[in-house]
Amino acid sequence: MKSELPRLLSECDLDVALVLGPDGMSGANPIFRYLTGVADHLTGILIVHWTGRRQLIHGTMERDAARKTGLELINRNRWPMHEILKKYPQPLEASVEFYRRIFADLKIHGRVAFYGTGAIGAHHALLQRLQAELPGVEIACEFERDIFQLARETKDAAEIETMRQVGETTCQIVKATVKFLQSHEVRDERLVHQDGRPLTIGEVKNFIRMETLNRGLEEPEGHIFALGRDAGVPHNVGVAETPLVLGQTIVFDIYPRRSGGYYHDMTRTFCLGYAPPEIERAYRDVLECFEQVVTTLQLGQPTQTYQLQACDFFEARGRRTIRSDPKAQSGYIHGLGHGLGLELHEQPSFPTFGEHPELTLRPGMVFTIEPGLYYPEQGFGIRLEDTYCCDQSGEFHSLTPYPKELVIPLKAKSSPVSSSRRGSRSQRRAASPRGGCLF
């Protein structure tokens, strides 16, 4: 949490954290967004002192957005770049002089760490020069789990409430997408428009994009809507020209966010009309694994515990896992989940091979649980994912209020599907482990 930053700076022996703002794109720098707390267009430089003092260097054009932050404000015109360039016409030299003046005027010294995003080579050149040119300053570097990653591992109540709201809206988008699919008719085992044209993945993805925007969210990372064999490779996003076919798995992984703000992440796997027996069996395994994990979440437990639990479960069912075969391309081939917040992937992770044993479940953590099975050679993949949070009392709650049903029933007036394709009544009932369809 942000309130932990003074402690983290002290524990990491840092005097100042200097966060370079985005290059004009509001979502380009989640740390800057984290500290300013505003989604408006805002660039600049944030200076966080170990004492807790925070200063924002901003441009004149963004002075109104800067006021909304409540931070101590400094207009960057205090160090006019046009004057600096007259004396230092080379860009690198001008940048070094700009920071030299900032450090001298604001009396910044000691161990200083830089954060932000941008061109690696350019920042490396700048930091090398600053280390040589700034007396009394040591440029500190952190390879992983830096102070902001540590702070953002846990969220406060306001952040979690925002993420809950984004989760509810995301579920509304999924519900609308299911209704959109059900609004089409079936001909020759495909969903079709009234004129007989097949409904395609690309058309569904366009519908999802419009629903996302209409409901006040954005999807800077896109989404996954993949069918059949394509769904058998976890990060395939879906081929636009593919028609929607009955009885094949659809992996629908959606991860929108509020503008410049917090993400939600959820996945459902669907079959249109019916599910073949081998898909039903794999789906039930994934669902049971998911339920076993979420019912055993416990405060203070290492996150790796739950990844290993998932591997135990699938291996006991005779399925390959990333632990039993790290090079596997089918079976359970990824981690159980990841942290979520202003970035789609944050801490904590759920490692397989002993990385970060210090990672334990703590109050304020928000993370996904997403077991899956993938069999591209058999033409299907399955993943189920909810976003969970741990409240301050240590209780775990899903932020994804949406049912887990495999089969999407289609309109009764659709052309009939043979009983051999649909499966028996008992098989169809097994495909919906929670009972009747809730769509």
Domain range 2-151, its CATH number among 3.90.1170.50, 3.20.20.30, 3.40.350.10, 1.10.150.120: 3.40.350.10
Q: What does the block give as tokens for 342?
A: 């202003």
Residue 369's H or E segment, with its range, is strand 366-369
User: Domain extents for the chain?
Assistant: 2-151, 153-430
Whether residue 227 contacts residue 249, with contact meaning beta carbons closer than 8 Å, is answered with: yes
Q: State whether residue 18 is helix, strand or coil.
A: strand
Residue with token string 């917090």: 262
Residue with token string 């860009």: 91
Identify the pLDDT of residue 26: 44
**In angstroms, rounded to a whole number, what is the distance separating the alpha carbons of residues 276 and 297?**
32
Amino acid at 190: R
**In angstroms, rounded to a whole number, what is the distance separating the alpha carbons of residues 417 and 439?**
21
Identify the pLDDT of residue 165: 97
**What does the longest C-alpha to C-alpha distance in the chain come to?**
82
Residues with Cβ within 8 Å of 276's Cβ and at least 6 positions away in sequence, in order, are: 247, 423
Domain range 153-430, its CATH number among 3.90.230.10, 1.10.10.10, 3.30.70.20, 1.20.1600.10: 3.90.230.10
Backbone phi, psi, residue 31, to 5°: -65, -45
Identify the pLDDT of residue 122: 86
Whether residue 55 contacts residue 74, with contact meaning beta carbons closer than 8 Å, is answered with: yes
Identify the pLDDT of residue 37: 83
Q: What does the block give as tokens for 439?
A: 């769509």
Q: pLDDT truncated to tens, each residue of the chain (439 aa)?
A: 888 998 998 999 999 999 987 754 445 688 888 888 876 778 889 999 998 899 999 999 889 989 999 999 999 999 999 999 999 999 999 999 999 999 999 999 999 999 987 778 888 899 999 999 998 999 998 887 889 999 999 999 999 999 999 999 999 999 999 999 999 999 999 999 999 999 999 999 999 999 999 999 999 999 999 999 999 999 999 999 999 999 999 999 999 999 878 999 999 999 999 999 999 999 999 999 999 999 999 999 999 999 999 999 999 999 999 999 999 999 999 999 999 999 999 999 999 987 777 899 999 999 999 999 999 999 999 999 999 999 989 999 999 999 999 999 998 554 444 433 444 443 444 344 443 333 3
Backbone phi, psi, residue 401, to 5°: -80, 75
The model's pTM is 0.88
Is-cis flag, bond preceding 348, omega within 30?
Answer: yes
DSSP classification of residue 436:
S
* Residue 145 CB neighbour total at 10 angstroms: 14
Identify the pLDDT of residue 428: 43
CA dihedral sign, ordered 389, 391, 397, 398: negative
Backbone phi, psi, residue 435, to 5°: 95, -145
Identify the pLDDT of residue 248: 98
Identify the pLDDT of residue 429: 42
Residue with token string 């394709």: 421
